[in-house]
Structure 1
Amino acid sequence: MSPRTLHSIAGGQSAAPRGQMSRSSAFVPSGGRGRSAQAMRRVQALPVIEISRDEAMEFWAGVMRRRCGNPETCAVMFGVTVQTARNWFTAFSRPHIDVVLQAMRWWPDDFSGADLGQGR
């Protein structure tokens, strides 16, 4: 058996230079990296709704009274206990987000913004 000899195919000195790997400055938008001015103009921001905890609970109680009529019907519609529905009707507590989203799907006009502190 003959001994093996390791040979370097390309040494560090003989390798060709690779050039710049990162983006050149020609690709950077004005103002630095990030969104261009045209892209910023396309972004839409939702208005901020300023409403207190008490106002939110009163709003929800009003929607439930108008749309459900009584706590028993509300409990069946949203799959909650009657006591939970009573708490909503008396503005004692607020629902979880999944309940609010379901109500928004059923009654979008009630969540248009006019009653939520917008447009005042």
Structure 2
Amino acid sequence: MSHGNRFQPAGGRGRGLRAVRRVQGACGPVDVSAARVAWSRFVARICGSREECAVVFGVTFQTACNWFDAFSTPTGASVMQAARDWPDQFAAMLGEVA
């Protein structure tokens, strides 16, 4: 017989279904186009050039170009770096998307 797989952290108890729904309901959908434009503006303000962007975030020059041209957005590691290194500017960028 199969049982539901609930995550129960060591020394604690798992979250109930109502708690999961509260967390999932907190955010609405993100406008992907707005996110690409906001990230493009963010890296332009922070880095100033595509070359510097590639160095700062440890990505290829082509990736930096894609970010500057608002063709794509970064993956988690680059987002975490931006939030950690430039918290005020990152928060302002999030305000542009909301």
Task: Compute the TM-score of the two structures, normalised by the length of structure 2.
Answer: 0.67
- Counterpart of 1:105 in structure 2 is 84
- Counterpart of 1:5 in structure 2 is none
Alignment of 1:20-99 (within 5 A): 47-48=26-27, 50-99=29-78
Between Structure 1 and Structure 2, the one with more helix by share is: 2
Is 1:114 paired with 2:85?
A: no
Task: Compute the TM-score of the two structures, normalised by the length of structure 1.
Answer: 0.56
The one-letter code matched in structure 1 to 2:44 is: R
The one-letter code matched in structure 1 to 2:50 is: P
The one-letter code matched in structure 1 to 2:49 is: N
Query: How big is the alpha-carbon RMSD for the aligned residues of Structure 1 and Structure 2?
Result: 2.2
The one-letter code matched in structure 2 to 1:115 is: E
5+ residue gaps, structure 1, are: 1-33
Superposed displacement of residue 50, structure 1: 4.2
Greater relative contact order structure (CA < 8 Å, 6+ sep): 2
Per-residue displacement from partner, 1:63-83 (whole Å, max 9, x unpaired)? Answer: 000000010000001111111
- Counterpart of 2:5 in structure 1 is none
State how many pairs are aligned: 77
Superposed displacement of residue 116, structure 1: 2.8
5+ residue gaps, structure 2, are: 1-14
Structure-1 separation of matches of 2:81 and 2:49: 18
SS in 1 for 2:45: helix
Structure-2 separation of matches of 1:64 and 1:92: 13
